[in-house]
Chain A
Amino acid sequence: MTGFPSISWNLLLPQIVLLSTALFLLLLAVIYRGGGRSRGATVAGAVFSLLGLGVAAFMALAQYDTVADTFGAMLRLDPFSTFFTLLIIGGAALCVLLSVREAGGLKAMAGEYYALLIFSVLGMVVMVTAADLLVIFIGLETMSLAVYILVGIGGERENGAEGSLKYFLIGAFASAFLIYGIALLLGTTGTTRLDGIASGLNLAEGGSLQLVAVALVLIGFLFKIAAVPFHMWAPDAYEGAPTPITAFMAVAVKASAFAVLLRVLNVSLLPLADYWLPVMWTLAVLTMTVGNLAAIFQGNIKRMLAYSSIAHAGYLLVALASIDPAAAGVGNDPAMASVLFYLTVYTLMNVGAFGVLIYLGGGGRQMETLEQIKGTGFRYPLLGVAMTVFMFSLAGIPPTGGFLGKFYVFSAAVNRGLISLAIIGVLNSAASAYYYIRVTVQMYMRQSDEQLPGLPFSLPLAAAVLLALYGVFQLGIAPSDLLTAADRAVLFLR
């Protein structure tokens, strides 16, 4: 007889709450389906999702200062993981608010929609708390499988199945890269633990095989953040998905993948910094440039935001290329903190932009292309102003959070002497202003060809847009609280 292993279950409360919520939502889905009350399923699903996310966020907040290992040190709880847990839950909650109308249109699948959303949040939270590559892999798969289905859910949208299948095939391919890399790392360093890998890395002995392993692992993650040249799936998946899921993929999936990337690069792969820093430099330039250039030519706003999301991954890679390996153990690294700040701002402004787009589509008239949104600015003044703010923020114009996010990222690059990288970034940012501001121009300076219908008021959508609007200004004017939290969080990475 062995006794109970000492697992601090209380540290896992956010995950447990999320799992219970998802299972409960699954039951709720079939119960409501039996009664044929699809509207009830939508509302109940949204309410219980928000409740579950809220309780999980509260649990995470309560352990904000905790630094502990649990589950045989497979999971690690520190302010870094808690920061991302809260960011992901917050982003997911905003997406639930955006979903109420969209999920109602799914009818039979409305209940499953929320259950899958919460399952993928659970996977993300496991990912960001993982201290072992295999646990990261489990979290990543939990997240991905749910999102693959969400992209194609309903089956009535034109490109849903196409986007879903492309995302699934390429995602499965990327997972194979990742697991192969993990296997090679296990073979050459003797462990899959993140902190063990750092001490096991020995180029003199392991040689090129270790570099291959590291490359494979990084490719696995770079697929998830849609870095060029691993971005081919993103535009189709983003366009095919229901709009709230597009927002969810752009913010939450990206945030969790960047969290894992930051942790793996800093905890496990710092001894190889000389090898991966130039790689990040190149990928940053490629990702920014390709994302922005392609976005300029998009007529569909969802697709434009998909390419813009690729470009933003490029700005974030600038920060990763500016990580200072010498700062380990000395103090905090502004490059890493800027990633956390940027991701938070990006979550808010992106959810806001998608929220306005969904709101505009509520009048029974499709509002997806630049043609269709002509003249909407004066017809719907509040939405026009909100969209303008989000577009300015995405383009990086003060006094919005988007400006400060870019400022911190590029100044981190300048601090590390990467002047050319910063210049390329700023030029890209200037080019991106063209297609962001074009949205505003279409909304205000063009006349609509037909009569624009009135839009029904939607409380959850309005709440999400207003919250995002508040956040974008709050972070643009008084960013210090978030910066302090980000600075503190990254201290625990090394």
Chain B
Amino acid sequence: MLDYVAIFLTIIVAALMAGGALLLSALIGPSPAKTKEKERPFECGLVPIEEPGRRFPVHYYVVAILFVVFDIEVIFLYPWIASFDEVGLYGFIGAMAFLLVLTFGLIYEWLRGGLEWH
């Protein structure tokens, strides 16, 4: 249990620092005038150009899923390349089997029309 005391202390200190900073600035800081400008969403100090929450085409979700698939693929391929000499032929076959299964997914996606925009 003693191992966790440090973690609890960290949490308490973090909460005190964040809460304390807020509390102190509220207590001793100058109270700002509530203008319309101050109430606006903060966008890097500029006047917002357009409303947030725009619609976007639902097609994006297919693209997003494709992105996840290839992202995972790359994540697994990097360590393989980094250790290419150590894992040798076995690693090569393993990586190829992995790619083969993913290729099935790509072929499915492609033929099913997942890459067509409309």
Contact = CB atoms under 8 A, between A and B. Distances in A.
Among A23, A31, A33, A34, max chain B CB count under 10 A is at: A23
A5 interface: yes
Contacts of A19: 101
Contacts of B86: 1-2
Among A1, A19, A33, max chain B CB count under 10 A is at: A1
B23 to A, nearest CB: 35
A27 interface: yes
Interface residues of A, number: 14
Nearest to A26: B108
A31 B104 CA distance: 13
B68 interface: no
Interface in A312-350: none
B89 to A, nearest CB: 8
B108 A2 contact: no
Interface in A1-29: 1-5, 19, 23, 26-27, 29
Contacts of A4: 89-90
Nearest to B112: A30
A29 B85 CA distance: 39
Nearest to A7: B90
B90 A33 contact: no
Contacts of B82: none
B90 A27 contact: no
B104 A23 contact: yes
Contacts of A29: 108
A30 B104 CA distance: 11
Contacts of A31: 111
14 contacts: A1-B85, A1-B88, A3-B88, A3-B90, A4-B89, A5-B90, A19-B101, A23-B104, A29-B108, A30-B108, A30-B111, A30-B112, A31-B111, A33-B112
Given A2-B90, A5-B90, A27 B85 contact: no
Contact of A26 (B85, B87, B90, B104): B104
Contacts of A33: 111-112
How many B residues touch the partner, as a band?
A: 10 to 19
Interface in B91-118: 101, 104, 107-108, 111-112
Contacts of B104: 23, 26-27
A30 B107 contact: yes
A238 B114 CA distance: 30
A29 B104 CA distance: 12
A19 B97 CA distance: 12
Contacts of B108: 26-27, 29-30
A109 to B, nearest CB: 11
Give the 9 A-B residue pairs with the shortest CB-CB distance, closest first: A30-B111, A1-B88, A23-B104, A4-B90, A26-B108, A30-B112, A30-B108, A2-B88, A26-B104
Given A30-B107, A30-B111, A23 B90 contact: no
Contacts of A26: 104, 108
A212 to B, nearest CB: 14
A2 B87 contact: yes
Contacts of A34: 111
B87 A27 contact: no
Nearest to A22: B104
Nearest to B91: A2
A27 B112 contact: no
Nearest to A108: B112
Nearest to B111: A30
Given A2-B90, A30-B111, A30-B112, 18 more contacts: A1-B85, A1-B88, A2-B86, A2-B87, A4-B89, A4-B90, A5-B90, A19-B101, A23-B104, A26-B104, A26-B108, A27-B107, A27-B108, A29-B108, A31-B111, A33-B111, A33-B112, A34-B111
B102 to A, nearest CB: 11
A122 B1 CA distance: 42
A145 B106 CA distance: 19
Contacts of A1: 85-86, 88
Nearest to B90: A4
A4 B107 CA distance: 30
Nearest to A209: B1
A400 B90 CA distance: 53
Contacts of B111: 30-31, 33-34
A23 B108 CA distance: 9
Contacts of B85: 1
A490 B78 CA distance: 43
B101 A23 contact: yes
Nearest to A30: B111
A23 B97 CA distance: 13
Interface in A139-160: none
A449 B107 CA distance: 52
A33 to B, nearest CB: 7
Nearest to B108: A26
Contacts of B87: 2
Nearest to A29: B108
